[in-house]
Chains A and B, each alone.
Chain A
Amino acid sequence: MKEFFENKYFQIGLRVILGIIFIYASVGKLFRAEDFAKAILRYEFLPIYFVNIMAIIMPWVEFFTGTLLILGIFKKATSIIAMGSLVAFIIALSSAFARGLDISCGCFSLEETSSKGDIIYRIIQDIFMLIGAIIVFMFSEKKKIQEPESTEVIN
């Protein structure tokens, strides 16, 4: 199993899929902070002072994380950011679902309308993405076998 996860092509495929989803989720929000702020506001989750800041910055975090995942740059760092973001999304969605909020997810499109069933679907989707990000984090760089330190024989 470990060897499969460490497989170069599996890793590339996983990073590209994750990257594309992250970029796809971000592009509709990059220049629409006002609408995204309202989507965040509906969750009644963040303190009101952080809503706009989050709406301004979060889509760009998603965009750069997705791009770097695809390019395979800073693999560990991008997978950590992806994991952090996904955990936050899962908590926010679960909290909204538990409170029975009738909200649009705001995950991919700011126009979409969603039902409670749709929120469950998004949570499951995020859990799968989180597993993917964990696999990238754990297996993207094979551990180098430590070479024994050279010992010089002093005559």
Chain B
Amino acid sequence: MKTGKQIIIILAISILAGLSANAINPKGVSLILDKNKYAPADTTKQKQIPDGFVNDPYDTATKKTNKNMLGYEGKKNREGFIEPENITVELAKNLFDRNALFIDARVKEEYDSSHVKNAINFPYEEFRNKGYNEKVEIMKRYNKDGIIVVYCKGDKCEMSIDLAYEIAKLGFNSVNIYKGGLKEWKAKGFPTQP
């Protein structure tokens, strides 16, 4: 058999095996990457925050609706959850000033060394590996209609994106991804601790 044909056979078998493995894999991916998920924040599509708005991350008495605390009604995607939005550093700071819940997706050691002031820490790898009920249990103390901002070290770090999607899938209405992360936050001189 000619070499060219052999190459085609090997590649065809690989494609078939890859597609089959992906189809039966519960953690399989779509054939085309979700472009919006990994795109940078669109500065022209940033939320407007009403004057006087103050977020309450712990107000679990709030009735669960599709509207978040800002009054925006999110549109559920095919998987039945409201997709997180990418936000700019300006909006992140604005939401920080309005008491949004900041979640740091990095590992504990990195979080302990420095993080956005008052941010809480959900290391992505640990969170991902928890069962659904455990995730619900962890998140039940937080306001589902409240504003959440997830970040990690900087724009090359996808942990913030993945953690944001994990949280959004639990029914949280306004999960935001701040891709600039701690690197940009610090460069701007915004509050960190310790």
Q: Which residues of A contact B (CB under 8 A)?
A: 30-34, 37-38, 41-42, 48-49, 51-53, 55-61, 63-65, 68, 74, 76-78, 80-81, 101-103
Contact = CB atoms under 8 A, between A and B. Distances in A.
Give the 7 A-B residue pairs with the shortest CB-CB distance, closest first. A77-B6, A57-B18, A60-B14, A60-B18, A61-B14, A74-B6, A56-B18
A63 B27 CA distance: 20
Contacts of A68: 10
Given A34-B27, A41-B33, A61-B11, 7 more contacts: A37-B33, A42-B158, A49-B32, A53-B31, A56-B18, A56-B22, A64-B13
B28 interface: yes
Contacts of A52: 29-33
A41 B29 CA distance: 14
Size class of B's contact patch? 20 to 34
A102 B25 CA distance: 30
B35 interface: yes
B7 interface: yes
A44 B72 CA distance: 33
Contacts of A51: 33
